[in-house]
Chain A
């Protein structure tokens, strides 16, 4: 084959290929352009450490009116997040479903986290988790080693007589106060903050006209370990109203620290302030008050708020769309100054909607955009005659009546052809 012959053929082949590809794309275009009529998603757990989110990722489904498609997994496995293994042994569930009923989209989702042994139910029936063992999430350890007592703290508010009496003793009193604080802090031990839960979950349902959802928190508590003892800071309600806000303070920690520090200062100041003579008790009391005030001032941010939690958080983008998060917890910035990592935890986030209706394809293609007026209908059809037909068949086409004649003509023609062939052979 010549090279010049191949070039046009190759061009033709490329043209055919391009045309076929174009046809395929045109065929796929309506489906690709079709907007989903229902959608839902579920996320069991998201933990953001220092602004970096990690967790079970999201299982999402959409329905285009013909079929459902999904991304993600319904059975997430999270072995470790941020160096802690709280998810090991836990039960995470995230499931979502969509359907089309009578041409209208519907959606349902459920997501949550529970302890070992929890039961997982079906999506669409509300709750999808039954509690198992208690699961403990380490929310961080409070580090109060940054608390300090400085010279000016001791002198705060003392009158002239007490200041004169304290002046020769200040160099000894300040270390005593600092040692007392360090000892008191040591007695508190590791201040580990935990979130305990049996099962925390949210669910939602959506139609083309509405969407609703709810959350349930079974056995959910925020606790802190103080001096080796577990102190419950907050017990979360099992069935909270939508968008219930809760703030956790550290009153318990501050009170325990104050009691321990008071004991230490009483012992520490006794020997150091003895030379003050008759002013000993008055000076000791004033210094204790100043030290406790200085510590309280430094603990003030934690006494206001430590954790900011929203229970059964519900966000609506429209009447047919809802996002429900069972538990949304964030460590406040003030706590980060005292050793907490920036931490945010979302447990059980479900989204449903928006939903739409399946658009019916046009019933009939009409070349004209203008609707044609309905014609006047006949009200009389006089389709009977007394006499015989007045004309012969008008179409001239071969019907039954002409079939015999046509076959006969064909037989004559075939016979003639055979005769001609015979004569030629004889010659």
Chain B
């Protein structure tokens, strides 16, 4: 009987340890790796908004439109933008907000006062942490006019490439009228 209990506990311990080692989980410590080499993003985590979405590379269409992945539960990383951990440029990630719910960035669309919140981007090289500097709501025209500043890759900062997270907001009953843009700097 004792041997059976011991075996059960042993298997449980080994399994839980393995789970902790390989599971990404939103509970990853910010002290994981404060500085990581530049690498393509794999996962986006916003602990305070319970966001945990996989990241896939996406490109621009011919008319300079950046379409998020069709799968609304994933987010897209513009593959011409900086990789997390890079010294220059901007990491541009976008994801859908779905009016009926279930979009990867629904909470970003509806939550104001995000300044100071933590955002983690996991790559093959580790976790790059960011802190939100500001949240802006911009019309389509304002996004087009300020595109170079928002998404340009010639930007240099002592702290490294910042994160620009984009989704939609201002549901008018039939479509979204604005973009919400989160600017975050490496933490």
Contact = CB atoms under 8 A, between A and B. Distances in A.
Contacts of B150: 377
Interface string A384-419: 111111111111011110010011001101110111
B71 interface: yes
Interface of B: 1, 3-12, 15-16, 19, 22-26, 42-43, 50, 52, 54, 56, 60, 63-74, 78, 80-81, 86-88, 92, 94-103, 105, 109, 140, 143-144, 147-148, 150-154, 156, 166-169, 171, 174-176, 179
A413 B15 contact: yes
A392 B72 CA distance: 9
A3 interface: no
A259 B81 CA distance: 99
B15 A378 contact: no
17 contacts: A374-B153, A375-B81, A376-B60, A377-B64, A380-B63, A380-B140, A382-B65, A384-B96, A385-B98, A386-B99, A386-B174, A389-B72, A397-B54, A410-B11, A414-B12, A422-B3, A425-B1
A24 interface: no
Contact of B11 (A378, A380, A407, A413): A413
A384 B98 CA distance: 6
Interface residues of A, number: 44
Given A379-B144, A417-B7, A422-B3, A394 B71 contact: yes
Interface class of chain A by DSSP = loop
B148 A377 contact: yes
Interface of A: 363-364, 374-395, 397-400, 403, 406-407, 410-411, 413-415, 417-422, 424-425
B contact patch SS: mixed
A286 B17 CA distance: 125
B101 A388 contact: yes
Contacts, number: 181
Contacts of B140: 380
Contacts of A388: 72, 98, 100-102
Contact of B97 (A384, A392, A419): A384
Contact of A419 (B4, B65, B74): B4
A381 B165 CA distance: 11
B3 A383 contact: no
B12 A364 contact: no
A365 to B, nearest CB: 9
Nearest to B104: A389
A373 B60 CA distance: 16
Given A383-B166, A413-B11, A399 B52 contact: yes
Contacts of A364: 86-88
A418 B11 CA distance: 9
Given A374-B153, A388-B102, A421-B7, A381 B143 contact: yes
A417 B52 contact: no
B103 A385 contact: yes
